[in-house]
Amino acid sequence: MSDESLAIIREQEAYIHVHPPVGIFRFAAEGSQTRDGGTVKIASSGVMINLKSGASVQLAQVGDRVVYPDGTAALIATGAGKEHRFGQVQAALVGSRLDNGDEIINTPQDSLLIIQRSGEAMPVDFLVEHS
């Protein structure tokens, strides 16, 4: 490995040591579930991801519907902010709130995530509802 490559790796390791992870936010997808029993049945981002099982699911975004066992539905209201969008629409995350007060609590995918690090500010529109 070149000296330049080693210097970059050492710099990254030092940064990570000073700014350890304090939060992990996984991207929500079809099959994501909410605290109150809802499920993202059909996502609309147009972005597909392959699961370890071999199945493919579409990533969810703000405005996608969550369906409950009793047939009621709610819309995803908060997302990852303008830095993480599909076109003009924010990506939905584990932690995204719905317009009925519910919250996404899990996702079937474990590949895409946002790491919150100590000493780093999250974007001002991260998981914030906008009217």
Residues in the chain: 131
In this structure, the number of other CB atoms found within 10 A of the CB of residue 50 comes to 11
User: 14 falls in which pLDDT band (50, 70, 90)?
Assistant: very high
Structural domain containing residue 37? 21-117
Task: Name the residue with tokens 């932690």.
Answer: 95
Which pLDDT tens digit goes with each residue over 58-73? Answer: 999 999 999 999 999 9
Position 46 in a domain: yes
Which pLDDT tens digit goes with each residue over 80-122? Answer: 999 888 889 999 999 999 999 999 999 999 999 999 999 998 8
Position 128 in a domain: no
The letter for the amino acid at 23 is G
Taking the C-alpha atoms of residue 49 and residue 64, their distance in angstroms, rounded to an integer, is: 17
Position 6 in a domain: no
Q: What is the CATH number of the domain that holds 65?
A: 2.60.200.60
Position 65 in a domain: yes
pLDDT at position 130 over 80: no
Structural domains in the chain (count)? 1
